[in-house]
Amino acid sequence: MSDSNRHRLLFICLGNICRSPLAEGIFLHKANARGVAEQFTIDSAGTGGWHVGDPPDPRAREVAERHGVRLVSRGRQIEPGDTDRFDLLLCMDRDNYRKVERLGARPDQIHLMLEFLPEDSPHEVPDPYYGGDDGFDHVFDLLDRSCENLLDQLTARPEPSSRQ
């Protein structure tokens, strides 16, 4: 598939070492399992720059590995050109969302990641960085379910418009 036909997804959090690399790894894992990875360009970034070049947090790597997911990305900070390079900017919480809005992203481009869960679910992926290991299990579960639904939406075939 040519690059111009791919869905280009950027997962965004604050530090780019916990939530967004997990979302990136989980989404890629699911896309590979379904045989549709070539339909996507996937990356992640942080709104902050403290962890540029760092591997994901060891607690994020550990929970991912327990579920067979490898995290390979390195921390990077979001930059203005990302609003042109990606179709969907998927933010973990409202603070990330507001910062991405200020970079000039179009409203239809930005989403909260948990928009892809049922309405009575939490709206933000909690930041697990300052908490215990169970925070990472909870984050993994939220991201696993939202990535599954997002992938369903992006790979759904359009319904035939009318019967002949």
Q: ∠ CA(5), CA(24), CA(151), 5° rounding? A: 55
Instruction: Round to whole Å and give the CA distance between 124 and 95.
Output: 10
Q: Is 71 in the site for ligand 4NP (CB under 6 A)?
A: no
Contact yes or no for 42/116 (Cβ under 8 A): no
Minimum CB separation of residue 162 from ligand 4NP in Å reads 46
Q: Report which residue type is found at 50.
A: W
Enumerate the β-bridge partners of residue 103.
none
Q: Is 62 in the site for ligand 4NP (CB under 6 A)?
A: no
Contact yes or no for 26/147 (Cβ under 8 A): yes
Minimum CB separation of residue 87 from ligand 4NP in Å reads 22
Q: Which is nearer to ligand 4NP, 12 or 31 (CB)?
A: 12
Those residues with Cβ within 8 angstroms of residue 132's Cβ, 6 or more apart along the chain or in another chain: none
Range in contact with ligand 4NP (rule: CB under 6 A) among 16-24, 97-105, 113-121, 153-161: 16-24
Q: Is 14 in the site for ligand 4NP (CB under 6 A)?
A: yes
Contact yes or no for 102/78 (Cβ under 8 A): no
Q: Which is nearer to ligand 4NP, 62 or 84 (CB)?
A: 62
Minimum CB separation of residue 128 from ligand 4NP in Å reads 7
Q: Please pick, among 59, 93, 127, 147, the residue that the annotation labels catalytic.
A: 127
Let me know if 87 is a catalytic residue: no
Range in contact with ligand 4NP (rule: CB under 6 A) among 2-10, 12-20, 34-42, 99-107: 12-20
Instruction: Round to whole Å and give the CA distance between 52 and 75.
Output: 4
Q: Hey, which residues are catalytic here?
A: 13, 19, 127
Q: Which residues lie near ligand 4NP (CB under 6 A)?
A: 13-19, 46, 50, 127, 129
